[in-house]
Amino acid sequence: MKPVAALLIAGLSLSTPLSAAELNVAVAANFTAPMQKIAAAFEKETGHKLALSFGSTGKFYAQIRNGAPFEVLFAADQETPARLEQEGQGVAGTRFTYATGKLVLWSKQPGLIDDKGEVLRTGSFERLALADPKLAPYGAAAMQTLNQLGLADALAGKLVQGQSIGQAYQFVATRNAPLGFVALSQVYAEGRLTEGSAWMVPEALYTPIRQDALILAKGRDNAAAADLMRYLQGEAAQAVIRSYGYGL
């Protein structure tokens, strides 16, 4: 965590229900499941109400620049929150890394994917899902992986892109694509793969997916924004984040 953010946030106590507020939060699609759990616990403890929107980091950036009413952003990268802060769209000193994401090649079909990802080299599948690399950091990581493996050109005709990692996951979950690159958090909970088969992509094949949070300009005076950021750094929230396979 950045020292300035630690000083600004750690010194704040969680607001009581007497000062409860509503907060509009933009959340990267890969963080959907843990954020839903965290939000429920946060609302119960503080009395604040969170309006959660899930989608691609790239789309959120465009929406925020165009005046969307979001007050906090949980991005899937570091670059987008940093850019928003530099452009005056974020509150300086509130940005910090809340999780480090991991990329996985996943299929709903048990046994389809081996533990070394060799299925990619066979090309014995019709479609390979991934998020749009221009909008979603997990999509960019997937393309980096294919390039590192020397398979980007060979598999180009099989790629099916979703607007977010959430849509890429849906392609595989509904079997419209037999396999795809998704966030580990989407297929992992409580220390195990939830279903199907998967290959954990070695982190050496893609740039680390460090995910930053930022209080946006519209949330500057909302007590719930500072409370939420502080809550994310507490023991309860971090336990949830770890349970979905993220690094901290």
Residue range(s) defining the domain that contains residue 116: 103-200
User: Domain check: are 176 and 107 in the same one?
Assistant: yes
Are 214 and 171 members of one domain? no
13-60 residue pLDDT tens: 454 445 789 999 999 999 999 999 999 999 999 999 999 999 999 999
Q: Do residues 62 and 132 make contact, with C-beta atoms less than 8 angstroms apart?
A: no
| Same domain, residue pair 117 and 85 | no
pLDDT class for 222, splitting at 50, 70, 90?
very high
Question: Could you tell me if residue 169 is inside a domain?
Answer: yes
What is the predicted pLDDT for the residue at 3?
44
For position 139, which CATH number holds? 3.40.190.10
Asked whether residue 139 falls in the same domain as residue 155, the answer is: yes
Res. 6: pLDDT tops 70 = no
Asked if pLDDT for residue 242 goes beyond 90, the answer is: yes
- Output the six-digit token pair for 118: 């060799």
Residue 147 covered by a domain: yes
Residue 179 lies in a domain: yes
pLDDT reading at 10 higher than 80: no
Q: How many domains does the chain have?
A: 2
Same domain, 138 and 188: yes
| Tokens of residue 21, six digits | 């507020």
Q: Are 26 and 73 found together in one domain?
A: yes
Q: Is residue 28, in this structure, part of any structural domain at all?
A: yes
Tens digits of residue pLDDT in 148-181 = 999 999 999 999 999 989 999 999 999 999 999 9
155 is a domain residue: yes
Q: In what order do the strands lie in the sheet with 197-200?
A: 159-162, 128-131, 179-183, 103-107, 197-200
The H or E element that residue 40 is part of is helix 32-46
pLDDT exceeds 70 at position 214: yes
Tens-digit pLDDT profile for residues 106-160: 999 999 999 999 999 998 999 999 999 998 999 999 999 999 999 999 999 999 9
Taking residue 167's Cβ as centre, other Cβ atoms within 10 Å add up to: 18
Instruction: Give percent above pLDDT 70 in the chain.
Output: 93
Does the residue 205 lie in any domain? no
113 and 88 together in one domain:
no
Q: Does the structure show a pLDDT above 90 at 200?
A: yes
- What's the predicted TM-score (pTM) here? 0.83
Residue 70 and residue 132 in one domain: no
d(CA 14, CA 228): 8
Average pLDDT over residues 201-208: 96
Across the chain, what does the average pLDDT equal? Answer: 92
Residue 127 belongs to some domain of the structure:
yes
